[in-house]
Amino acid sequence: MTTLKLLSPANLGLLELRNRMILAPLTRCRAGAGYVPQPINALYYAQRASAGLIISEATQVAPNGIGYPNTPGIYNSAQVEGWKQVTEAVHNQGGRIFLQLWHAGRVAHPSLLPDGEIPIAPSAIKADCMADTADGQQPHVTPRALKLSEIPEIVEQFRQGAKNAIAAGFDGVEIHSANGYLLDQFLQDNSNQRQDEYGGSIENRARLLKDVTQAVVEVWDKGRVGVRLSPSSTFNDMHDSHPKAIFSYVAQALNKFDLAYLHVVEPRIQGNITIADDGTGLGARFFRSIFQGSIITAGGYTRETGEAVLQDNHADFVTYGRLFLANPDLPKRFALSSALNRYDRNTFYSSGEHGYTDYPTLEL
């Protein structure tokens, strides 16, 4: 076997991990009725428990936070019981798993929400992209701007989701403030044009993320909470007029929470598509001198490029998404320099076991 830094044990917050390879949070749209995780979800995650850490798929903290069909929730007792199957299965394999807390905000669609309600957002600005619904892709609708009096409820939804994650047996939680979802929508000025204390200045636009993070670290030990950012992503019609300023401020502000990690999506990743990176975007390397804790980088890495980013000390851990999806035993394959299964993009968001739990492992 080859000795790689990727495969070396390391501490992440309060956890000791067997390696530095992280299963990325991957939306797979395979939750059961009522957005409840099922035995097939437990099998999927348990198959990939050799990752140093699993970060679950995006999991909505409220009924109006659903962004795609058949994504799991963490806001009621049935969902908690469903997730218990998952965490038990992962722990039985010696793995570690965090829950990603998520609210889709304006990129939800009325067809997915209770009583067909209008999605919420910082401002009534429609995302110029398509929504994935049970009936295929449809244009997004103009969202409803949250009233100032409603914002504390959003914070409490994340707080309750964090409490429910403890009840479900998770090892920690990740706050999803990336990829054009609600918390990211508050950060960036193309989607946040509020005139109150949650809009306008950089400090104001970052206020909701700070409020949510404070609420979550009051539930969990600080070393068991992470935050995900995508400073350069235009996915879900996102952009900011001064991205370096807002995201530098956010990373600095997050230092006070003693988080387990900052999870940074590299500029070349736009949703599940990898594009050319001209080197001017804001990735893990940019945040190295700003954020004082561990950094996880997400960026379509290979065995070689993941090892290089660790050796260059631009990040401490590397997420793998599509490669882990198709190779449940990815750390073993990296150790042996073995061939990799090819992923089938057509099954990323389908149903059933095909392309989900039927990828083969090495037979040695």
pLDDT > 70: percent of the chain:
96
- Cβ-based burial of 157 (10 A; exposed 0-12, middle 13-18, buried ≥19): buried
Within-domain flag for 115: yes
Q: Residue type at 212?
A: V
> How many Cβ atoms from other residues are within 10 Å of residue 348's Cβ?
17
343 is catalytic: no
Asked if residue 273 has pLDDT above 80, the reply is no
In this prediction, residue 364 has a pLDDT band, given cuts at 50, 70 and 90, of low
Round the average pLDDT of the chain to a whole number and report it. 95
Within-domain flag for 167: yes
In this prediction, residue 222 has a pLDDT band, given cuts at 50, 70 and 90, of confident
Asked if residue 343 has pLDDT above 80, the reply is yes
Mean pLDDT of 278-300: 90
What is the model's pLDDT at position 268? 72
Within-domain flag for 353: no
What is the model's pLDDT at position 154? 98
Question: Which domain CATH number covers 204?
Answer: 3.20.20.70
Within-domain flag for 356: no
pLDDT > 90: percent of the chain:
93
- Number of folded domains that form the chain: 1
Per-residue pLDDT tens over the stretch 32-71: 999 999 999 999 999 999 999 999 999 999 999 999 999 9
Within-domain flag for 352: no
What is the model's pLDDT at position 279? 60
d(CA 25, CA 283): 18
What is the model's pLDDT at position 113? 96
Within-domain flag for 363: no
Within-domain flag for 228: yes
d(CA 191, CA 182): 10
d(CA 342, CA 294): 31
Mean pLDDT of 328-348: 97
In this prediction, residue 313 has a pLDDT band, given cuts at 50, 70 and 90, of very high
What is the model's pLDDT at position 3? 84
Within-domain flag for 358: no
Strands in the chain per DSSP E: 10-12, 15-17, 21-23, 53-60, 97-102, 120-121, 130-133, 136-139, 144-145, 172-177, 225-229, 261-265, 269-270, 273-274, 294-298, 317-320
Mean pLDDT of 322-331: 98
What is the model's pLDDT at position 281? 77
Marked catalytic residue, from 44, 181, 349, 356: 181
Question: What b/e string do you get for 114-153 counting C-beta neighbours within 10 Å, with b at 16 or more?
Answer: eeeebbbbbbebbbebebbeeeeeeebbebbbbeeeebee
In this prediction, residue 2 has a pLDDT band, given cuts at 50, 70 and 90, of low
In this prediction, residue 363 has a pLDDT band, given cuts at 50, 70 and 90, of confident
Which residue segment(s) compose the domain that 72 sits in? 5-347
Per-residue pLDDT tens over the stretch 113-159: 999 999 999 999 999 999 999 999 999 999 999 999 999 999 999 99
Asked if residue 276 has pLDDT above 60, the reply is no
d(CA 106, CA 67): 9
Asked if residue 269 has pLDDT above 80, the reply is no
Under 8 Å between Cβ of 326 and 313: no
Per-residue pLDDT tens over the stretch 66-103: 999 999 999 999 999 999 999 999 999 999 999 999 99
- The angle at the Cα of 160, spanning 10 to 271, to the nearest 5 degrees, equals 60
Mean pLDDT of 209-217: 98
Asked if residue 231 has pLDDT above 60, the reply is yes
